[in-house]
Amino acid sequence: MDGSTRPFWLTAFIDYPAAEFERGRDFWTRATGWPLSAVRGEHEEFVSLVPPDGADYLRLQRLGGGRTRLHLDVHVLDPDEAAFLAQQHGASLIRQVGPGLVIMASPAGFEFCFVRQPREGRPRPRRWPAGHHSAVSQVCLDIPSKAYAAEVAFWAETLACPAEPSPARPEFTRLQVPQAFPFELLTQRLELSDEMGAHLDIGTDNRPAEVARLQREGAVVRAVRDGWTVLEAPGGLSFCVLDRHPVPSG
């Protein structure tokens, strides 16, 4: 991998079916405290959440069909060459949109894109009136057990970063992405599902306060674990709030 195919940024896209788009969009605007960009796209289907400092890394898309989901944009200088290399490691080409956008599927079927858009500067966490801080600081790839090893190896190769299994929780492996990236990447082995997916994780220095704030904005608590709380956002996307400082450690 050379400089033209080495990723320099990641964007997380929340994809909503048309019937859920407005509810989901409005929730994430409130959840992050960030305003929306102007809409764009041929069908005005794309919008970004714009932080007051740094580059945007959270975007939303209104789908023509399907269900609520998450996908990643992987930013590289040469999307065509990056797509070619990814196919050598098990990815599938879905569609070549143009010289700056290639839509792919990982070996386990997770949709992602190679894009050329320049981005730089990780935003700071938001400080809320209650005094705590939070930020979307991690994406977790949820991988079926039978595909886990190959999928983790694929992402480690594609993102040019080492994979470090968790000694305390063997179902998790951390991908050691560069500190310049806007969020960290974790992988989770699923034992009871055959469907690949992903979810957002919000890091905070006060989980009870952050969960309560998000509940007031319309999220519903689904489970409370040792170290994190699972919630569901309006529009159907599950996410977690972590006992974890909201700045990625790199």
Instruction: Classify strands 111-115 and 69-75 as parallel, antiparallel or unpaired.
Output: parallel
**Residue 189: its pLDDT value, please?**
97
pLDDT digits (tens, 9 = 90+) for 36-47: 999 998 889 999
**Helix ranges (DSSP H) in the chain:** 18-32, 79-88, 148-158, 207-216
pLDDT digits (tens, 9 = 90+) for 224-249: 999 999 999 999 999 999 999 887 54
DSSP H or E stretch at residue 187: strand 184-190
Query: E strands along 76-147, which residues?
Result: 92-98, 101-105, 111-115, 126-127, 133-144
| DSSP SS3 for 234 | coil
CATH number of this structure's domain 126-243, picked from the four choices 3.90.230.10, 3.10.180.10, 3.40.50.2300, 3.20.20.140: 3.10.180.10
Look at the alpha carbons of 198, 199, 200, 204 in this order and tell me if their dihedral is positive or negative. negative
9-115 and 126-243 have identical folds: yes
> Could you state, in order of their start, the residue ranges of all structural domains in the chain?
9-115, 126-243
Are 73 and 115 in contact by the 8 Å Cβ rule? The answer is: yes
**In a 10 Å sphere around its CB, with 0-12 CB exposed, 13-18 middle and 19+ buried, how is residue 9 labelled?**
buried
Are 239 and 214 in contact by the 8 Å Cβ rule? The answer is: no
Phi and psi torsions of 19, nearest 5°:
-65, -20
CA 232 to chain centre: 15
The structure's pTM equals 0.95
Residue at token pair 């289907």: 45
**Residue 250: its pLDDT value, please?**
39
Instruction: Classify strands 101-105 and 46-49 as parallel, antiparallel or unpaired.
Output: unpaired
pLDDT digits (tens, 9 = 90+) for 106-121: 999 999 999 999 988 9
**Residue 246: its pLDDT value, please?**
82
DSSP H or E stretch at residue 212: helix 207-216
Tokens, residue 223: 């489970």
Instruction: Classify strands 92-98 and 101-105 as parallel, antiparallel or unpaired.
Output: antiparallel
**Residue 249: its pLDDT value, please?**
44
Mean pLDDT by 10 residues, the chain (250 residues): 90 96 97 97 93 96 92 97 97 92 98 94 95 97 97 97 94 95 97 94 98 98 97 95 76
**Residue 248: its pLDDT value, please?**
53
Tokens, residue 247: 């700045």
Count of beta carbons in the 10 Å neighbourhood of residue 58? 22
Tokens, residue 204: 């905070």
CA distance 145 to 71: 20
Q: What is the CATH number of domain 9-115?
A: 3.10.180.10
